[in-house]
Amino acid sequence: MGNHAILSASSSHRWLHCLPSARLELEFENTSGEAAKAGTAAHELSEHKLKKALHIRSKRPVSAYDSDEMEECTDDYVAFIMEQVELARKSCTDPIVLIEQRLDFSCYVPDGFGTGDCVIISDDRLHIVDFKYGIGVLVDAENNPQMKLYALGALEIYDSLYDIKEVSMTIFQPRRENVSTWTVPVEVLKAWAEEELKPKAAKAYQGEGEYIPGPWCTFCRASTRCRARADENLKLAQMEFKMPPLLTDSEIEEILNIIPDLTKWAGEITAYATDAAVNHGKEWSGFKVVEGRSVRKYKDEDAVAQKAVESGYKDIYRKSLIPLTEMQKLMGKTKFEEILGSLIVKPPGKPTLVPKTDKRMAMNVTNAKNEFNEIMED
């Protein structure tokens, strides 16, 4: 068995909805982007810091991704874990704390295993904490299949040693200021595992079942070339639209639901086809590779400055503050708030139409137009 399970916990949100996707993904190279590498570095640093806090010997990892922000996020994570340990000690004199624990849930998922960032066991309660350094997608703990698989793996080890009655699962996502916890009785979790997880995992492992596109396609390695996803997205393109004023409300609502994924998919197809043509010599019928637009730039800024000054021009430099996010990374979140907090303002964002499932609070539409217009006038 390799380092990565075919039916991994981290991809369970995908293969539980689209059963054959896990096998299909094996046909594509698993490449890690910069965000994934930064996430790995953050996990290694948080593991080191947590071990030190628990008086376990550890050598600090060295990474090119170290930053003030990472220091602060990992410090916050360790502080949260230590708070949970103290809470556990109120009901248990000697709770067990496991760091980066391998969790085997293969009794439900063929060859299934994963790594729990932190597991705390205190008599009748099991608490799984997952550190998410990513900022792109807000992760919720409620009914989170990855967390449920980790919990099942932990129960396999400790359920016979402790009378565990409930499991708490926490997502700690500091860069999104998100700490989400969900608690479920053990019998409910095991019922889900037997009735839903186990039969679906058996089919997924064999590559059986139907391809079902949806939001879970986002990080699928096969998503760009997936026919089921293409068919779903092309339904919109195949519709013969009337002019927008003549569309019914229900037609507009249907289009609004489809557009985000269609736009994303179209971008991915373009990127894939361009890469194939530029880097692999692929020729697409009816298309050609041309040089895109570019802007002029200085070959050597020092030489340009010298020539301009020698010619009598002095007002050639522009001084400006570094961007706000860069300033926060430079200072660290705490110092940034302490020094510059009173000088930072966050104006209302541009009114945006989103599905009702979006967790942001609805705007007062009556005032939204006036507020936005004031911002534009300023």
Question: What is the mean pLDDT of the segment spanning 338-346?
Answer: 90
Residue carrying structure tokens 């037609």: 251
H/E element, 95: none
Question: What is the mean pLDDT of the segment spanning 281-287?
Answer: 87
3-state DSSP helix/strand/coil % of the chain, to nearest 5:
50, 10, 40
Of the chain, the percentage scoring pLDDT greater than 70 comes to 92
Q: In the prediction, which pLDDT does 253 show?
A: 83
User: How far is it, in rounded angstroms, from Cα 311 to Cα 320?
Assistant: 25
Q: In the prediction, which pLDDT does 375 show?
A: 47
User: How far is it, in rounded angstroms, from Cα 147 to Cα 189?
Assistant: 11
Question: What is the mean pLDDT of the segment spanning 291-298?
Answer: 80
Question: What is the per-residue pLDDT across 248-257, written as a single tens digit (0 to 9) for each?
Answer: 788 778 778 8
Q: In the prediction, which pLDDT does 366 show?
A: 64
Can you spell out the DSSP letters for 238-307? Answer: HS----GGGS-HHHHHHHHHHHHHHHHHHHHHHHHHHHHHHHH----TT----PPP-----S-HHHHHHH
Residue 118: both structure tokens together:
């932190």
CATH fold for domain 12-206? Lambda Exonuclease; Chain A (3.90.320)
Q: Where are the domains of the chain?
A: 12-206, 215-280
Question: What is the per-residue pLDDT across 124-177, written as a single tens digit (0 to 9) for each?
Answer: 899 999 999 998 888 999 999 999 999 999 999 888 888 899 999 999 999 998
Question: What is the per-residue pLDDT across 78-106, written as a single tens digit (0 to 9) for each?
Answer: 999 999 999 999 888 889 999 999 999 99
**Least confident span in 113-117, 179-183, 252-256:** 252-256
Of the chain, the percentage scoring pLDDT greater than 90 comes to 49
Q: In the prediction, which pLDDT does 280 show?
A: 87
For the cut 70, the answer to whether the pLDDT of residue 47 exceeds it is yes
Question: What is the per-residue pLDDT across 190-238, written as a single tens digit (0 to 9) for each?
Answer: 999 999 999 999 999 999 999 998 888 888 888 888 888 888 777 766 6
Check: CB of residue 142 under 8 Å from CB of residue 156. Answer: no
Residue carrying structure tokens 């557009």: 259
Q: In the prediction, which pLDDT does 4 show?
A: 65
